[in-house]
Amino acid sequence: METIIREGSPKTPFVRLDGEKGVVEIKGRSIPENSVEFYKPIIDWLEKFGEAPSEETNVNIQLEYFNTSSSKCILDIFKRLELIHKKGNPVEINWYYEEDDEDMFEAGEDYQSIINIPFKMIEMEE
């Protein structure tokens, strides 16, 4: 499965999708002009990955900020990962947040309450 790397920009996060290693990484700010268009290739990749996932999938989400339309797309990503998890393939989500960023911590908790995958809440020092 091909690895996709997208460099981040002031409006879009850095993305790394590594099928061989089973790593999904999203870092930075997510306020794209069109969230659905930005996240569609990621969701499509996860659907293909879900057909033959690696033994274990590690997901690292480290967002400073995301807008409402991005939050829906991120939920779609988690739903694809949940399908992989339900098939018996371990998925671990690491949700990173800065120690004083209550909003990002609560966003992680909100996703955790919706998605049936173990979340690790990881506090980062500034």
Q: What is the pLDDT of residues 73-106, one digit of tens each?
A: 999 999 999 999 999 999 999 999 999 999 999 9
Distance between CA 120 and CA 108 in Å, rounded? 9
Q: Which domains does the chain have, with CATH numbers?
A: 4-124 (3.30.750.24)
- pLDDT of residue 118 exceeding 90: no
Percent of the chain with pLDDT over 70: 100
- pLDDT of residue 126 exceeding 80: no
What pLDDT, on the 0 to 100 scale, is given for residue 107?
A: 97
What pLDDT, on the 0 to 100 scale, is given for residue 23?
A: 97
DSSP assignment of 24-58, as one string? EEEEEEE--S-HHHHHHHHHHHHHHHHHS--SSEE
Task: Provide the mean pLDDT of the chain.
Answer: 96
